[in-house]
């Protein structure tokens, strides 16, 4: 269905069906709560509201005749910079905590203390060990893994001021040298987080530039001590993703199955549920079910789909709607993006809402604390909650409503998998086909589209329309996080999407690559690279391409976009890509527009310092146009074909 402007209508019929059901049942959802918040605080949206001490709250009016200074004397530039840095700290803390948990698990596995887990990708272990300078010759896998884990732990306790092991081992040479000159190399992620919180408390740093430099440093923390560290260790423990086709959207829920929805981010718990769902399937059939159906919501969906091929349910803004189906027997959560509303809503449909992490609890939830040393027992306990809930659902005649909306997607496009596909074209130089296509203009450029589904922008299909416009102009798209769910449900992650959306030149490249790789069909125009932490895969790919050409990442005809971001994690991720010298498009507007200094820095001065730049645009076609214009500028600067 097309609208009057000829643009495809990307509305998910499953969303519409369940929103109407919730309205009939007088169930309040996030979209309803958002309406009640309107109009939202203008001072907050500008970033000029300060609550860091009890002299306030102070609100700075940057436009009219209102106050220009807080009680302490802080102006709008300082307040905005402090608030933004604290948001980046929140995001980096989330990713660093995720990574640290995986590092400790790796050490336990290596030392035989977590028998429920094992190292699944020895090749990735050896690759990471080599980069870190860990000896491998004549040593056991466990000994190597233990030393790799200790290298990470050393970074968390480092007090000597030396650069993190993961930066020294994993950053490209040109980027490392640039960051060193700009004062962006960090030593200990915990120290950096502590210093950022200290400097932003009342009566400390009042230099906006100093605060913004700290934000870029927090981006470095996020990527190397959070994203990249988590991805490396996850690959070692759970396997590096490889291409596979999986099912997506509401139809992955089955009325006759015990439906377990895993929601959150860290694969430690969810991977065991997938494993044990098969092992105790007999208990489910004894209860009258056909099987135990484990599906993934939010980034757990990405983690499970890329590694085990589990069904890919929906994004974080759909978590409430999946409960509204009445067919979810248990929703099991770990960390991040877990809306407090979910536990209360689950009770309306007799769904067992189960928390598993000590610092992510809800008074309405069942709490099953999950630890690696008891992983198998806890996994069985959680699944048995789901089986019991299934019995109750069937005995109580609970009415279910499962939309028929369904989709397929190609997932598992890690850097290693992509290189493997490209090797079918050029075994000696796998990146050459991509570089040649970019040089000729058959691929105009590439954009990493990442982040969240924001209810403020969902009704406009912001992500889908922007991506469609990019593809039409021969721009390749790679994606991570909940945008994967959005684009998978809209049909962008299939070979058919190449014919439907890609420009003629891009279509030809993807068809040739798919044929050479023996796929029998084109590669999709949108490549699914994984969860939020897998943004580091995008950096790795860009670093490899830049290194092959002999330029900095900032010179590549590429951009990043978080077209519907919600979380502090998006702030820290975006801060890293700004530090890497990449154009970062964001919507909705970040809370910086109350500071003339911040706007000037992010749009005018930063490009001259390291190449990074922010683009804010909530209109999808205009956002795509701005990104494409940037890509063309980069092509012109490199002397590439203008198309």
Token pair of 630 as six digits: 């940037």
The domains of the chain, with CATH numbers, are 75-238 (1.20.1270.30), 250-395 (3.40.50.2030), 411-638 (3.40.50.2030)
* CA–CA gap between residue 413 and residue 529 (Å, rounded): 5
* CA–CA gap between residue 335 and residue 332 (Å, rounded): 10
Which DSSP letter does residue 641 get?
Answer: P
pLDDT band for position 397 (cuts 50, 70, 90):
confident
398 neighbors 326 (Cβ within 8 angstroms): yes
142 neighbors 108 (Cβ within 8 angstroms): no
3-state helix, strand, coil in the chain (%, to 5): 55, 10, 35
465 neighbors 10 (Cβ within 8 angstroms): yes
**Sole residue written with tokens 């400097």:** 199
From first CA to last CA, the distance across the chain in angstroms is: 31
pLDDT band for position 2 (cuts 50, 70, 90):
very low
Per-residue pLDDT reduced to its tens digit, 585-635: 999 999 999 999 999 999 999 999 999 999 999 999 999 999 999 999 999
Token pair of 466 as six digits: 């922007």
How much is the average pLDDT of 10-32?
A: 95
Per-residue pLDDT reduced to its tens digit, 193-204: 999 999 999 999
Token pair of 29 as six digits: 């959802």
420 neighbors 531 (Cβ within 8 angstroms): no
Q: pLDDT value at position 4?
A: 38
- 9 pLDDT higher than 80: no
pLDDT band for position 398 (cuts 50, 70, 90):
confident
Q: pLDDT value at position 65?
A: 83
Q: pLDDT value at position 62?
A: 85
Q: pLDDT value at position 8?
A: 61
Distances (CA, A) of 604 to 213, 520, 556, 596, 632: 15, 46, 19, 11, 18
Q: pLDDT value at position 340?
A: 97
Burial 206-220 (b: 16+ CB within 10 A, else e): bebeebbbbbbbbbb
> 339 by DSSP, 3-state: which?
coil
pLDDT band for position 641 (cuts 50, 70, 90):
confident
- 7 pLDDT higher than 70: no
Note the residue count of the chain.
Answer: 643
Which DSSP letter does residue 584 get?
Answer: E
How much is the average pLDDT of 538-555?
A: 95
* CA–CA gap between residue 283 and residue 512 (Å, rounded): 48
Taken in order 224, 190, 46, 41, the sign of the CA dihedral is: positive
How much is the average pLDDT of 415-436?
A: 93
What is the crossing angle of helices 535-549 and 568-579, to 10°?
10
Residues of the chain with pLDDT > 70, as a percent, come to 99
- Note the Cα 491 to chain centre separation in Å: 19
Q: Residue 132: which residues within 8 A CB-CB, separation 6 or more?
A: 148, 151, 165, 166, 169
Q: pLDDT value at position 5?
A: 39
Per-residue pLDDT reduced to its tens digit, 548-575: 999 999 999 999 999 999 999 999 999 9
Per-residue pLDDT reduced to its tens digit, 209-234: 999 999 999 999 999 999 999 999 99
Q: pLDDT value at position 3?
A: 42
Per-residue pLDDT reduced to its tens digit, 316-349: 999 999 999 999 999 999 999 999 999 999 999 9
Q: Which ranges of 159-297 would DSSP assign to H, the alpha helix?
A: 165-170, 173-182, 189-200, 208-221, 228-238, 267-279, 281-286
**Sole residue written with tokens 């993807």:** 510
Q: Which ranges of 517-619 would DSSP assign to H, the alpha helix?
A: 535-549, 568-579, 596-600, 606-609
3-state secondary structure 22-90: HHHCCCCCHHHHHHHHCCCCHHHHHCCEECCCCCCCEECCCCCCCCCECCCCCEHHHHHHHHHHHHHHH
- 433 pLDDT higher than 60: yes
**Sole residue written with tokens 């490249």:** 509
pLDDT band for position 520 (cuts 50, 70, 90):
confident
Mean pLDDT for all residues in the chain? 95
Which DSSP letter does residue 581 get?
Answer: T
């Amino acid at each position: 269905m097309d609208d009057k402007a000829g643009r495809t209508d990307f509305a998910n019929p499953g969303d519409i069906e369940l929103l109407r059901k919730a309205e009939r049942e007088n169930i309040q959802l996030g979209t309803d709560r958002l309406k009640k918040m309107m109009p939202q605080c203008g001072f907050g949206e500008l970033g000029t509201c300060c609550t860091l001490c009890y002299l306030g709250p102070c609100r700075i009016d940057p436009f009219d005749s209102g106050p220009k200074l807080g009680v302490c004397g802080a102006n709008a530039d300082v307040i905005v910079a402090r608030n933004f840095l604290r948001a980046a700290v929140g995001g980096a803390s989330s990713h660093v905590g995720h990574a640290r948990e995986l590092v400790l698990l790796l050490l336990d596995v290596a030392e035989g203390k977590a028998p429920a887990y094992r190292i699944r990708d020895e090749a990735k272990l050896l690759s990471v060990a080599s980069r870190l300078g860990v000896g491998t010759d004549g040593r056991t896998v466990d000994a190597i893994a233990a030393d790799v884990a200790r290298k990470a732990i050393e970074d968390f306790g480092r007090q000597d001021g030396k650069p993190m092991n993961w930066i020294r081992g994993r950053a490209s040479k040109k980027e490392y040298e640039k960051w060193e000159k700009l004062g962006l190399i960090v030593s200990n992620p915990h120290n950096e987080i502590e210093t950022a919180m200290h400097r932003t408390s009342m009566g400390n740093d009042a230099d906006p530039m100093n605060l913004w430099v700290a934000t870029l440093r927090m981006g470095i923390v996020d990527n190397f001590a959070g994203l990249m560290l988590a991805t490396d260790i996850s690959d070692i423990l759970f396997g590096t993703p490889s291409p596979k086709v999986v099912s997506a959207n509401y139809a992955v829920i089955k009325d006759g199955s015990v439906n377990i929805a895993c929601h959150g981010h860290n694969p430690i718990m969810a991977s065991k549920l997938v494993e044990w769902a098969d092992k105790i399937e007999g208990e489910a059939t004894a209860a009258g079910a056909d099987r135990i159906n484990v599906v993934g919501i939010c980034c757990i969906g990405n983690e499970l789909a890329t590694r085990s091929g589990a069904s890919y349910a929906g994004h974080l803004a759909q978590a409430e709607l999946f409960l509204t189906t009445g067919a979810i027997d248990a929703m099991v959560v770990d960390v991040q993006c877990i809306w407090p509303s979910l536990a209360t809503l689950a009770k309306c449909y007799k769904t067992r809402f189960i928390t598993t992490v000590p610092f992510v609890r809800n008074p309405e939830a069942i709490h099953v604390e999950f630890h690696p040393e008891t992983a198998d027992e806890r996994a069985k306990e959680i699944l048995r909650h789901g089986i019991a809930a299934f019995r109750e659902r069937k005995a109580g005649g609970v009415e279910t409503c499962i939309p028929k909306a369904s989709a397929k997607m190609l997932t598992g496009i890690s850097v290693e998998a992509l290189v493997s596909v490209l090797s079918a074209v050029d075994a000696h130089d796998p990146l050459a086909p991509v570089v040649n296509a970019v040089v000729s203009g058959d691929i105009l450029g590439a954009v990493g589209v990442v982040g969240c589904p924001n209810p403020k922008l969902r009704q406009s299909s912001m992500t889908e329309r922007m991506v469609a416009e990019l593809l039409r102009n021969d721009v390749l798209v790679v994606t991570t996080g909940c945008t994967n769910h959005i684009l998978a449900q809209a049909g962008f992650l299939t070979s058919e999407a190449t014919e439907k959306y890609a420009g003629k030149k891009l279509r030809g490249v993807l068809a040739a690559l798919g044929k050479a790789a023996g796929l029998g069909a084109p590669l999709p125009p949108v490549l699914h690279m994984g969860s939020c932490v897998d943004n580091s895969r995008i950096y790795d790919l860009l670093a490899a391409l830049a290194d092959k050409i002999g330029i900095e990442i900032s010179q590549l005809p590429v951009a990043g976009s978080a077209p519907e971001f919600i979380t502090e994690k998006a702030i820290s991720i975006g801060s890293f890509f700004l530090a890497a010298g990449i154009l970062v498009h964001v919507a909705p507007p970040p809370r910086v527009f109350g500071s003339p200094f911040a706007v000037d820095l992010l749009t005018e001065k930063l490009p001259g310092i390291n190449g990074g730049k922010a683009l804010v645009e909530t209109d999808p076609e205009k956002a795509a146009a701005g990104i494409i214009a940037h890509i063309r500028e980069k092509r012109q600067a490199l002397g590439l074909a203008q198309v």
